[in-house]
Amino acid sequence: MHMNRVISTSVPSTFLGALVATLGHARTLEALVRPLLELLQSATGMESTYVTKLDESAVVLQVLFARNSNRLTVPEGLSAPWEETLCKRALDDDRFYTDDVAGYWSDCAVARTLGMVTFLTAPIRGKNGELFGTLCAASDERKPLSDMANHVLTLFAQLIAAQIERDKLMAALHEANHSLAATALTDAVTQLPNRRALLDEMQRRLASHRDEQALIVAFIDLDDFKPINDRFGHDIGDQLLQTVAKRFRRMLRDGDMAARVGGDEFVVLAVEQRERAAEAASALSRRLEGATRGRFKLDSVLIDYDGASVGAVVAELHCSNPQELLNRADEAMHAIKRSRKHHAALPASSIAIARYAWPVIE
């Protein structure tokens, strides 16, 4: 910003030095505004200087920051309907300075209550003309307006608008970065955490676990998921995955975590007291297998599913490698899968899901 074009050459060098120092150290809106309000008092001779914020619906104006040094006090947090404010009247009338508030706006209750006689304001607008609020100075006495004071007010309003724009941009960038980070750690189909997120969480829990607690890792494989995809299409397959994920969410306790780690593979984490962790792991396996068993209504298709293969392991006391622990859970799941196929009453009973699936008759 070309400061010398905005402020007249009569501005004292000490004032410019203070302004440059303020701009150099300000990292937040408040850190910028509070020194500017003090400088604005010096430039205008007003007892009160303040910044207002107009809410997004343009209904309420609130005093965000204020500096008061004499009888007239404008409290921070003071709010009023936008239509009733002195700022709104000044902008509508294109009268940004007056030393006779009562003469021009006698119906403004806020100004009358505060005892304002002289009032000076400038709109704080974004690059697109959006009105953020106002920068104001006020006195309970008649005060003249110098060219320097007018220039300073305009410049400060521009500086505050630029900081607000910067803060909004940084907030948008932060939100976008958070969204990208969440996307990178989320499975697109089920909206569960993905493998990367799971391993990160396992590492965190293993590093922070207490000796009396144990981490349980349950590995779930939806047996014969491929025949469902082949027969009914990938849309139905995705719906089955999404429904299974919802069932997992409903059955998990606070602190448990479910993740999708592959095409038809899920993992659930749980923490239990070490003395009963083995029993809890078996119970968790049964609950997860039960959550995947039964009838699934997916668009125009009903699928009777015989349940997934679930293998659960308990982390040893000094276990620190999440991938090795996950591999152990995977091996436990495959052992269950082999056992189910070997002991099934019907050959390859889990494959029977394809035979027991049929279109819904409306």
- Residues recognised as catalytic: 264
CA distances from 102 to 73, 107, 108 (A): 17, 8, 8
Alpha-carbon distance of 176 to 284, in angstroms, equals 37
> What one-character DSSP code corresponds to residue 82?
G
Instruction: Give the 3-state secondary structure of residue 116.
Output: coil
Alpha-carbon distance of 303 to 283, in angstroms, equals 26
The answer to whether residues 343 and 300 touch, using CB atoms and an 8 Å cutoff, is: no
Alpha-carbon distance of 128 to 155, in angstroms, equals 18
Instruction: Give the 3-state secondary structure of residue 55.
Output: coil
Q: How far is CA 154 from the centre of its chain?
A: 34
Query: Comparing C-alpha atoms, which of 221, 223, 194 is closest to residue 303?
Result: 223
> What one-character DSSP code corresponds to residue 84?
G
